Amino acid sequence: MQFEFASAARIIFGDGSAKELPKLALGYGSRALLVTDSFQPDSVTSLISALRSADAQLTHFPVSGEPTVEVIDQAKAVALSAGCDLVISIGGGSVIDTGKASAALIPNDGETLDYLEVIGAGRKLAAAPLPFIALPTTAGTGAEVTKNAVLGSKKHRVKVSLRDDRMLADIALVDPQLTHSVPAAVTASTGMDALTQALEPFVSHLANPLTDGLCAEGLRRAGRSLRKVYAEPDNAAARNDMALTSLLGGLALANAKLGAVHGFAGVLGGMYDAPHGAVCAALLPPVMAANISALNAREPENPALKRYDYAAQFLLFDRAASAQDAMDWISETSRIFDIPGLRAYGLREDDFDEIVAKSSVSSSMKGNPIALTADELTAILRAAL
Ligand code: NAD
> Measured from the CA of 159, which atom of ligand 1 is nearest?
34
Distance 299 CA to ligand 1 centre (A): 36
Say whether 208 sits in a helix, a strand or coil. Answer: coil
146 lines ligand 1 (CB under 6 A): yes
Using an 8 Å Cβ cutoff, are 33 and 84 in contact?
yes
Q: Rounded to whole angstroms, how far apart are CA atoms 7 and 1?
A: 20
> Measured from the CA of 254, which atom of ligand 1 is nearest?
40
Residue 317: exposure state from Cβ atoms within 10 A (0-12, 13-18, ≥19): exposed
181 lines ligand 1 (CB under 6 A): yes
> Measured from the CA of 65, which atom of ligand 1 is nearest?
3
> Measured from the CA of 269, which atom of ligand 1 is nearest?
34
pLDDT in tens, the chain (385 residues): 899 999 999 999 999 999 999 999 999 999 999 999 999 999 999 999 999 998 889 999 999 999 999 999 999 999 999 999 999 999 999 999 999 999 999 999 999 999 997 888 899 999 999 999 999 999 999 999 999 999 998 888 888 889 999 999 999 999 999 999 999 999 999 999 999 999 999 999 999 999 999 999 999 999 999 999 999 999 999 999 999 999 999 999 999 999 999 999 989 998 999 999 999 999 999 999 999 999 999 999 999 999 999 999 999 999 999 999 999 999 999 999 999 999 999 999 999 999 999 999 988 999 999 999 999 999 999 999 9
Backbone φ, ψ for residue 13 (5° rounding)? -125, 140
Q: Residue 355: name the closest of 381, 320, 322, 326 by CA.
A: 381
163 lines ligand 1 (CB under 6 A): no
196 lines ligand 1 (CB under 6 A): no
Q: Residue 53: name the closest of 87, 27, 86, 19 by CA.
A: 19
What pTM was estimated for this model as a whole? 0.96
Distance 172 CA to ligand 1 centre (A): 16
